[in-house]
Amino acid sequence: MPERIDRELTDEERADLERILSDQAAFAEMIEELSGSSRRRRQNAAHLVALVAEAEPSALADHIPQLLDALERPEAQTRWEILDACSILVPDHAREIGAAFGPAEEALFDEVSAPLRLAAFRLLITWGSTERRRSEKVWPILDEAIQCYHGDLEYRDMLALLYTFATGKIDGRVAGELAGRLEFDAENGKGAYLRSRSSEIYQMLVKRFKLENPQKRARHVSKDDLEDDDEE
């Protein structure tokens, strides 16, 4: 199951959601605005899409191409709202949502928006945990993100999402490398939550996959890296 977004709706959001779900013309306008020329209206439409995904995800099933297209908009909010909606659609539409892999990878390393990075991490976690081959595809990117954002505020939420990944249909090698990555924090992490959550995931992986001495993912040195080293 995808990690649900913990969101308390305002009265205005409840009214908008009810209107969108009861009025086909309003629903169609919401989808159309995702590709409109107004940034503000795109953001508002994307927020409504995320609310619809929470309340009635099946209503978006015929509009996945438009959601994927919206991931190409420049503003962060439109993208994070749509990424969150796509995460909710993964269980029934994993094949189609797989097309969001590229935009999600780019969003994961956005230098400005923490909500965008977290939404991208959530989507990759949710999609990657549905099948062993998918877990192999997303794992190198997730591993890089773990290292990049380890000390950042959103890492606490990322760690919670990693539990979802660890309990999913992931490859055994991926499980071993994830356990290896979390082993240090499981034993020596600074802060009770970091240490206890890392330990919980680590112990679960060791038991589930019968791991012995799990090792973190080895860094793959590219030709470009070698050339950079030669220039120094």
Q: What is the pLDDT of residues 30-54, one digit of tens each?
A: 999 999 999 999 999 999 999 999 9
For the question of whether the overall pTM of this predicted structure is more than 0.95, the answer is no
For residue 220, pLDDT beyond 80: no
3-state secondary structure of 10: coil
Q: What is the pLDDT of residue 85?
A: 98
For residue 222, pLDDT beyond 60: no
Q: Which two tokens stand for residue 185?
A: 């924090």
Domain boundaries of the chain, sorted by first residue: 10-100, 129-218
pLDDT digits (tens, 9 = 90+) for 151-186: 899 999 999 999 999 999 999 999 999 999 999 999
Own/partner pairs, 67-72, CB within 8 angstroms, 24+ separation: 67/34, 68/96, 68/99, 68/100, 68/103, 69/34, 69/35, 70/34, 70/35, 70/42, 70/46, 71/100, 71/103, 71/104, 71/107, 72/103
CATH architecture of 10-100: Alpha Horseshoe (1.25)
Q: What is the pLDDT of residue 223?
A: 40
pLDDT higher at 64 or 153: 64
Strands, E, within 6-122: which ranges?
Answer: none
Q: What is the pLDDT of residue 217?
A: 86
For residue 228, pLDDT beyond 50: no
pLDDT digits (tens, 9 = 90+) for 68-81: 999 999 999 999 99
Amino acid letter, 2: P
